[in-house]
């Protein structure tokens, strides 16, 4: 290493210059390769390659070099370099029964033909060919919430904290620990900016689950104007329309405006991590409006189709993006379907959809169910591993989205 008088030796000076050149070339390659948001995993690989070359190691030996921070269980299988961005979508209070069985014969007995038309057809079709869809209790899948109260805010807080939290109702305050979003912004070397870690949500209280310290990431929830520095007419129109069209329930906006905001933000800013949170289904369920609840599920199916097709059309960004879809809790059966909570059987059962370039190109990863228990605490470590960060908390990485398969 050089001291304040210069290099200690000519050979070490040459080595230092070579190492710097490799690092700079990797940096510029990432910066000018057609997308602002390149993979954290590619950066880790470039760093390891530069370090190995500086140590005189041969190119053949570089393949076995695993940077610190990669989960131990994946140390023998290199992470897929095409995975760089994550979009997590959550729909509030959508039962597994409707996802996998369709219309409930008891609750939907009085519905007309139009109201009982098939739904979630696109999602289930894509899940069978390009991703996995787990949570089918009829098949034996075991996918559950992780909080003991089986309610919304406790679920969201546990997901982003990566561990069960003291929150047991929707009346608790801000999450008391560092969240996934905050860790991404603060991660050493991750280079996430405030505007690249994004939450856009219908329910106002989602803000209490995604940040321990308010303002660390970009958050827009409830009927609040979204302000991202843009002044385009599309943004102004969405803000105007959502203010004039408030739902009958409080602390939220209709999901259609949340989705329009999210889709615009996605195309304009290409965020590294985006959390989109919908609310209508749960509100309609509590109001015992089964027909309207089913209508909201059709909206979610079309929204996911639009989201996936938009992402796929974004070239390198789309090729390097993982999309996850899940729900915060289930609902009761028959007369109890309008509620959820620890006293209502079955409302701890949830489901999850996952898709990225790896699952699209390796269909063997997505056949059947997960073959193991899955719960909400597995989401944070999976996202962390996708970004090359060492997972934290008790959850397990969903390796189907990450590890190369032999």
The band of 368, judged by pLDDT with boundaries at 50, 70 and 90, is: confident
Domain 85-401 has CATH 1.10.1040.10: no
The band of 387, judged by pLDDT with boundaries at 50, 70 and 90, is: confident
**Exposed / middle / buried, residue 80 (Cβ in 10 Å: 0-12, 13-18, 19+):** buried
pLDDT digits (tens, 9 = 90+) for 202-232: 999 999 999 999 999 999 999 999 999 988 9
Is the confidence at residue 190, as pLDDT, over 80? no
d(CA 108, CA 294): 9
pTM attached to this predicted model: 0.84
Q: What angle do CA 91, 324, 321 make, to 5 degrees?
A: 135
Per-residue pLDDT averaged across 24-52, rounded? 44
Crossing angle of helices 233-244/255-269, nearest 10°?
A: 160
pLDDT for 128: 84
User: Among the listed ranges 48-57, 123-132, 395-404, which one has the minimum average pLDDT value?
Assistant: 48-57
CB 365 within 8 A of CB 130: no
Mean pLDDT estimate for the chain: 84
Q: What angle do CA 182, 183, 185 make, to 5 degrees?
A: 65
Q: Greater confidence, 28 or 170?
A: 170
Per-residue pLDDT averaged across 164-184, rounded? 97
Instruction: Give the DSSP H/E element, type plus range, for residue 276.
Output: strand 273-278
pLDDT for 96: 98
d(CA 117, CA 317): 35
pLDDT for 189: 57
| Structural domain boundaries in the chain | 10-68, 85-401
CB 216 within 8 A of CB 181: yes
CB 323 within 8 A of CB 308: yes
DSSP tag of 91:
E
pLDDT for 74: 47
Share of the chain above pLDDT 70, in %: 78
Alpha-carbon Rg for the chain in angstroms = 23
Is the confidence at residue 134, as pLDDT, over 60? yes
pLDDT for 61: 41
117-148 residues labelled b (16+ CB within 10 A) or e (exposed) = eebbebbbebbeebbbbbbbbeeebebbbbbe
Is the confidence at residue 19, as pLDDT, over 80? no
d(CA 261, CA 276): 10
pLDDT for 210: 98
pLDDT for 70: 46
CB 397 within 8 A of CB 385: yes
pLDDT digits (tens, 9 = 90+) for 247-283: 999 999 999 999 999 999 999 999 999 999 999 999 9
The torsion angles phi and psi of 161, rounded to 5 degrees, stand at -80, -25
Is the confidence at residue 31, as pLDDT, over 60? no
CB 343 within 8 A of CB 390: no
The band of 364, judged by pLDDT with boundaries at 50, 70 and 90, is: confident
User: Among the listed ranges 111-125, 131-145, 391-405, which one has the minimum average pLDDT value?
Assistant: 391-405
DSSP tag of 79:
B
Share of the chain above pLDDT 90, in %: 68
Is the confidence at residue 181, as pLDDT, over 70? yes
DSSP H stretches of helix in 55-166: 96-101, 121-130, 152-161
DSSP-assigned states of every residue in 187-243: -TTT---GGGEEEEESBGGGHHHH-SSTTSSEEEESS----SS---HHHHHHHHHHH
Is the confidence at residue 1, as pLDDT, over 50? no
Sheet holding 273-278, edge to edge: 131-134, 352-355, 321-327, 85-91, 273-278, 197-201, 218-221
Is the confidence at residue 151, as pLDDT, over 50? yes
Max mean pLDDT among 76-80, 184-188, 308-312 falls in 308-312
DSSP H stretches of helix in 313-367: 315-319, 357-361
CB 388 within 8 A of CB 79: yes
User: Among the listed ranges 38-42, 108-112, 260-264, 389-393, which one has the minimum average pLDDT value?
Assistant: 38-42
């Amino acid at each position: 290493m050089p001291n304040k008088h210069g290099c200690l030796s000519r050979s070490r000076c040459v080595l230092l210059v070579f190492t710097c050149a490799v690092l700079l070339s990797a940096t510029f390659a990432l910066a000018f390769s057609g997308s602002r948001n390149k993979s954290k995993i590619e950066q880790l690989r470039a760093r390891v390659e530069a370090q190995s070359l500086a140590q005189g190691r041969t190119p053949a030996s570089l393949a076995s070099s695993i940077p610190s921070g990669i989960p131990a269980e994946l140390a023998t299988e290199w992470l897929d370099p095409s995975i760089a961005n994550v979009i997590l979508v959550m729909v509030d209070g959508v039962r597994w029964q409707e996802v996998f069985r369709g219309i409930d014969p008891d609750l939907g007995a009085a519905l007309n033909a139009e109201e009982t038309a098939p739904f979630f057809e696109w999602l289930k079709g894509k899940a069978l060919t390009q991703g996995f869809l787990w949570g089918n209790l009829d098949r034996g899948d075991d996918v559950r919430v992780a909080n003991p109260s089986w309610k919304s805010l406790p679920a969201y807080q546990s997901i982003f904290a990566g561990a069960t939290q003291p929150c047991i109702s929707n009346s608790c305050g801000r999450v008391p620990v560092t969240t996934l979003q905050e860790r991404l912004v603060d991660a050493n070397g991750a280079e996430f900016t405030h505007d690249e870690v994004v939450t856009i949500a219908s329910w106002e209280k989602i803000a209490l689950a995604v940040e321990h310290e308010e303002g660390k990431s970009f958050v827009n929830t409830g009927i609040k104007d979204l302000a991202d520095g843009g002044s385009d007419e599309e943004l102004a129109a969405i803000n105007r329309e959502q203010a004039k069209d408030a739902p009958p329930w409080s602390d939220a906006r209709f999901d259609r405006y949340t989705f329009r905001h999210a889709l615009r933000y996605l195309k304009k800013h290409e965020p590294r991590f985006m959390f989109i949170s919908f609310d209508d289904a749960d509100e309609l369920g509590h109001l015992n409006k089964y027909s309207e609840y089913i209508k909201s599920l059709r909206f979610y199916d079309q929204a996911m189709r639009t989201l996936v097709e938009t992402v796929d059309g974004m070239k390198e960004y789309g090729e390097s993006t993982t999309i996850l879809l899940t729900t915060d809790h289930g609902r009761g059966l028959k007369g109890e379907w309008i509620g959820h909570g620890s006293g209502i059987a079955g409302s701890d059962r949830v489901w999850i959809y996952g898709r990225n370039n790896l699952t699209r190109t390796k269909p063997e990863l997505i056949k059947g169910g997960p073959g193991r228990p899955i719960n909400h605490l597995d989401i944070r470590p999976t996202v962390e591993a996708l970004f090359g960060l060492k997972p934290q908390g008790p959850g397990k990485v969903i390796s189907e989205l990450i590890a190369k398969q032999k």
